């Protein structure tokens, strides 16, 4: 089961590994969920969670990337260096 990320909370920083603070979405019961980027990364690495975002009619997997300085961050598979699909999501309420 993969969980759809529908919104993000981001900082004013420009580095990909520092921009996204939190990711969030909506549970099947209609309630909202939210995880810090560190929590989401840890959950992916432990195999507990698998995330995706919608890009048009397509679902794109969210993965853990490592910057050239060794910092982990979230991005989508289809992006290059910048996590543009995630950054284009609306801000979480």
**Predicted pLDDT at 15:** 61
Is there a domain that residue 93 lies in? no
Give the sheet arrangement for strand 51-55, strand by strand: 3-4, 51-55, 58-66, 72-76
75 burial type by CB count under 10 A (0-12 exposed, 13-18 middle, 19+ buried) = buried
Number of domains in the chain: 1
Is there a domain that residue 41 lies in? yes
pTM of the model: 0.85
Q: For the segment 13-57, what is each residue's pLDDT rounded down to a tens digit?
A: 666 556 889 999 999 899 999 999 999 999 999 999 999 998 878
- Is residue 62 scored above 60 in pLDDT? yes
Rounded to whole angstroms, the Cα distance separating 1 from 50 reads 7
The stretch 52-74 carries a mean pLDDT of: 88
For the chain, give the percent of residues with pLDDT over 90: 52
Radius of gyration of the chain (CA): 12
Is there a domain that residue 92 lies in? no
- Is residue 81 scored above 50 in pLDDT? no
């Amino acid at each position: 089961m993969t969980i759809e990320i529908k919104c993000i909370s981001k900082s004013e920083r420009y580095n990909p590994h520092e921009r996204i603070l939190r990711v969030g979405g909506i549970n099947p019961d209609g309630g909202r969920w939210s995880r810090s980027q560190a929590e989401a990364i840890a959950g992916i690495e432990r195999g507990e969670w698998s995330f995706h975002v919608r890009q048009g009619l397509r679902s794109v997997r969210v993965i853990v990337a490592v910057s050239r300085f060794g910092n982990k961050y979230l991005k989508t598979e289809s992006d290059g260096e910048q996590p543009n699909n995630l950054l284009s999501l609306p801000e979480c309420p």
